[in-house]
Amino acid sequence: MTTSLEKVLDQIKPTVFEWIQRSPSLLSHNHTTVAADGGILTDDEHDGFSEYTEIAAPSAPSSDKVRVYARDDSGTSKLYYKRSDNTETELGGGAGGPHELLSLVHTDTLADTVLRGDLIVGNSTPAWARLAKGDQCKVLMMGADDPAWEPLPVLADHDHSGDAGDGGQFDAANLESGAATDEDVLLADGAGAADWGAIPDRHPAWSIEPFGALAGIMSLHGATQVADLFDEGANTFLGGPVSGANSPPTFRALDALDLPAHTHTRPRTIMFSWTGTLATAVGLLRAFPDGNWVIGKVWIAVNTAPTGAAIIVDIHMNGVTIFTDQGKRPSIAAGDNSDESDTPDVTAITKADYVTMDIDQVGSTIAGQDLTVHVRATETA
C-alpha cells in the first residue's frame, strides 16, 4: 500500500532530477578534494573574517590532521595550532614572525612577563625560564643544580680571632684563639703561627721617628737605645754606622767621602760655510772657542756634488794645519755630497786659539756648490 509521503516524493522526483541536470555544479563531485573537482567549495576567496572564542588547549589530533583554536597567552588572546605530535605553535609567530621571547611560541620556554634585571636560566624541565633579579648587594651563585641569588659569603659576620669554623680566611692551624682589641695586629711567632697583639714599642732595626721639637733634629729608635741626631750644617749627609751593627747613623761631611772624580762633557761645534760655486782659498774666516775644547772630527757637505776631482778641506789652528797627516783631511769624492775626516793629529784648543778653513781642492769639471764645514769638539768641566 502506497503511503501519502511516497506519493509526494513520486510527484517531485521529475522536478528535482531536471534541476540537477540543468546545474552542472551539482553533478557528481567530491567536496573533500581540491577545488578543481568542482562543487560549492570552488571559490576559496574569503572577504570577511572568522572569529574564534578562547578555549583550553585541545588534545593532539590524529596523525593526518591539525587543530586550530584561540586561547589565552599572558592576558592576550592568540591563535594557535596543534600537530598530531602534540606540539603547539602560535599562528603568526614562530620563525620570522614577531613574538615574545618568553612565550609559548618557543616550545622549550616557559611563558612569563619580563621585568628589568631578570635573567634566563635552564630549569629542571628542562626549559628556559625567567629568574627574577635578586636583592641589592647579592650575587648569583651556583648551587648543586640551579643558580640562586645569595649574599657574599666573605662579607658575612664572622670572627677572625676564633677557629676556622667561624668563617674568614684563617684556620686553626695557623691562627691562635683569642679576641682582638682596637689597634691590634697579627704578629708571627716565628714558628709558623700568628696571634693578635699590640704593635711593638720598638723594632730591632733602626727606624726614623717623627722630627723632634727642634728643627734639624730627628730621633732614631733601636732595640735598646735612643739617639738624637743633630744637623751638622751645610754639606753634610746622614750616613750609616761607621762600625758596629747596632750603631745609629750619623751626619757626616761630604768631603769625608772618598768619591771618584766626576766630570761632565758637552758637545761643541765651530761652523764655516761657502755659498755658491767653490774655489780654492786659504785662511777663510777666523773663529775662537769659548773654552778649553778637544776636537774630535771635521764633517763637510755640499749641495752640488763635484765631478772630475774631489773637494778637500783643511782646518788650521793659529795658522798651522791640525792634520799633520794630510791623508786625514775630509775629502768629498766626485759624485758624492759629504765626508767625515779621521781624528786630527792636533786636538787640544783653548780660548786663546783661533781656527780657519782652507779649501785645498775642488772638482775639476764641476767644482761643487754651497759648502758647510763643522769642526766638532767636546768641552770638559
CATH number, residue 293: 2.60.120
% of residues, the chain, pLDDT over 70: 57
Same domain (yes/no): 304, 333: yes
Residue 87 lies in a domain: no
Q: In this predicted model, what pLDDT tens digit does every residue of 157-179 receive, in sequence order?
A: 445 544 444 444 454 445 555 56
Going 116 to 119 to 125 to 127, the CA torsion angle's sign is positive
SS3 content of the chain, % helix, strand, coil (to 5): 10, 35, 55
CA distance 104 to 111: 6
* pLDDT of 283 over the 60 cut: yes
Residue 301 lies in a domain: yes
Q: Residue 339 — pLDDT band, cuts 50, 70, 90?
A: very high
Same domain (yes/no): 249, 232: yes
Residue 246 lies in a domain: yes
Same domain (yes/no): 252, 342: no
What residue spans of the chain are helical by DSSP H? 4-21
Residue 345 lies in a domain: yes
* pLDDT of 108 over the 60 cut: yes
Same domain (yes/no): 238, 340: no
Adjacent-strand bridge partners of 295 = 377
Distances (CA, A) of 217 to 136, 208, 211: 55, 11, 6
Give the burial string for 6-43 (b: 16+ CB within 10 Å, else e).
eeeeeeeeeeeeeeeeeeeeeeeeeeeeeeeebeeeee
Distances (CA, A) of 215 to 92, 222, 233: 89, 22, 12
Query: Minimum mean pLDDT among 83-92, 272-281, 308-317: which range?
Result: 83-92
Kindly report the average pLDDT of the chain as a whole number: 75
* pLDDT of 98 over the 90 cut: no
Nearest to 110 by CA among 122, 98, 93, 99: 122
What residue spans of 178-271 are helical by DSSP H? none
Same domain (yes/no): 374, 269: yes
pLDDT of residue 2: 56
List phi, psi (to 5°) of 284.
Answer: -75, 130
Same domain (yes/no): 219, 317: no
Residue 60 lies in a domain: no
* pLDDT of 25 over the 60 cut: no
Report the number of distinct structural domains present in the chain.
3
pLDDT of residue 83: 87
Q: Residue 336 — pLDDT band, cuts 50, 70, 90?
A: very high
Which residue pairs, CB below 8 angstroms and at least 24 apart, start in 145-151?
Answer: 146/121, 147/121
Residue 336 lies in a domain: yes
Q: Residue 225 — pLDDT band, cuts 50, 70, 90?
A: very low
Same domain (yes/no): 224, 286: no
The pLDDT of 2-20, averaged and rounded, is 61
More confident residue, 361 or 265: 361
Is the distance from CB of 59 to CB of 65 less than 8 angstroms? no
CA distance 341 to 338: 10
Q: Residue 79 — pLDDT band, cuts 50, 70, 90?
A: confident
Residue 63 lies in a domain: no
* pLDDT of 272 over the 90 cut: yes
More confident residue, 346 or 32: 346
Residue 194 lies in a domain: no
Q: Which domain holds residue 375?
A: 265-380
What residue spans of 139-267 are helical by DSSP H? none
Is the distance from CB of 364 to CB of 308 less than 8 angstroms? yes
Q: In this predicted model, what pLDDT tens digit does every residue of 116-169 receive, in sequence order?
A: 888 888 888 888 888 888 888 888 888 888 898 888 775 444 455 444 444 444
CA distance 343 to 360: 18
Same domain (yes/no): 231, 275: no
Same domain (yes/no): 293, 328: yes
Query: Minimum mean pLDDT among 224-233, 269-278, 335-344: which range?
Result: 224-233
Same domain (yes/no): 211, 247: yes
Domain edge (last residue) among 256, 290, 317 = 256
* pLDDT of 73 over the 60 cut: yes
Same domain (yes/no): 340, 363: yes
CA distance 315 to 302: 17
CA distance 83 to 64: 9
Same domain (yes/no): 277, 248: no
DSSP result, 53-112: -B-PPPPP--TT--EEEEEEETTEEEEEEE-TT--EEETT-STTS---TTSTTSTTB---
The pLDDT of 223-240, averaged and rounded, is 52
pLDDT of residue 223: 46
pTM of the entire structure? Answer: 0.36
Domain edge (last residue) among 256, 286, 317 = 256
CA distance 116 to 97: 24
The pLDDT of 169-192, averaged and rounded, is 61
3-state secondary structure of 189: coil
Is the distance from CB of 235 to CB of 254 less than 8 angstroms? yes
pLDDT of residue 20: 56
